């Protein structure tokens, strides 16, 4: 029965990279560590962390290092992310799973309040994201989930409980 579907979104918040971080990378030309931002042209489908959609071919993008916020633990990491080179309108919704990524398999990496990776972490096969996230968040120790690219391990976005 289960195929890729857009969740209703009432139980979760979906967080793109904050606008302040994106604006700093765009205007300063360096990421938070001082590494130069790369400017590239989209091939199409590139996962944009500013608006949580796939890029259209020919769009101007930036590639830079991003460290998703977590408490100071060994699990903090910096990885490459893509965003529009100019400010965009942001995600179409912050209360529903990004529609361009509904069918995209991901690793859903769960974290507890200490910022440690939690055993609820799992591979998401691109079907029924809302159900999978509800199962993960059923454990009260799960504070947030990072969606990550399977092949590259790159951060995509953060999911938290709406309540």
Helix, strand or coil for residue 63? strand
Angstrom distance (rounded) from CA 97 to CA 86: 24
Tell me: pLDDT of 5 over 50.
no
Tell me: pLDDT of 95 over 70.
yes
Nearest to 5 by CA among 131, 157, 144: 131
Give the global pTM. Answer: 0.90
Model confidence pLDDT, tens digit, residues 109-151:
999 999 999 999 999 999 999 999 999 999 999 999 999 999 8
pLDDT at 152: 86
Angstrom distance (rounded) from CA 113 to CA 71: 8
The helix or strand, by DSSP H or E, that contains position 25, with its residue range, turns out to be: helix 19-28
pLDDT at 10: 63
Angstrom distance (rounded) from CA 25 to CA 71: 22
Model confidence pLDDT, tens digit, residues 43-82:
999 999 999 999 999 999 999 999 999 999 999 999 999 9
Tell me: pLDDT of 23 over 90.
yes
Tell me: pLDDT of 6 over 90.
no
């Amino acid at each position: 029965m289960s195929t890729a579907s857009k969740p209703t979104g009432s139980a979760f918040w979906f967080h793109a990279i904050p606008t302040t971080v994106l604006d700093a990378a765009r205007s300063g030309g360096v990421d938070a560590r001082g590494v130069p931002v790369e400017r590239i042209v989209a091939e199409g489908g590139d996962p944009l962390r500013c608006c949580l959609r796939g890029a259209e071919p020919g769009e101007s993008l930036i590639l830079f290092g991003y460290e998703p916020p977590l408490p100071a633990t060994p699990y903090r990491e910096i990885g490459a992310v893509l965003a529009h080179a100019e400010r965009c309108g942001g995600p179409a919704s912050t209360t529903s799973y990004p529609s361009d990524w509904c069918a995209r398999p991901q690793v859903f990496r769960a974290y507890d309040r200490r910022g440690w990776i939690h055993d609820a972490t799992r591979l998401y096969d691109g079907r029924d994201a809302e159900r999978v996230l509800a199962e993960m968040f059923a454990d009260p120790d799960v504070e947030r989930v990072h969606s990550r690219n399977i092949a590259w391990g790159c951060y995509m976005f953060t999911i938290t409980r709406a309540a």
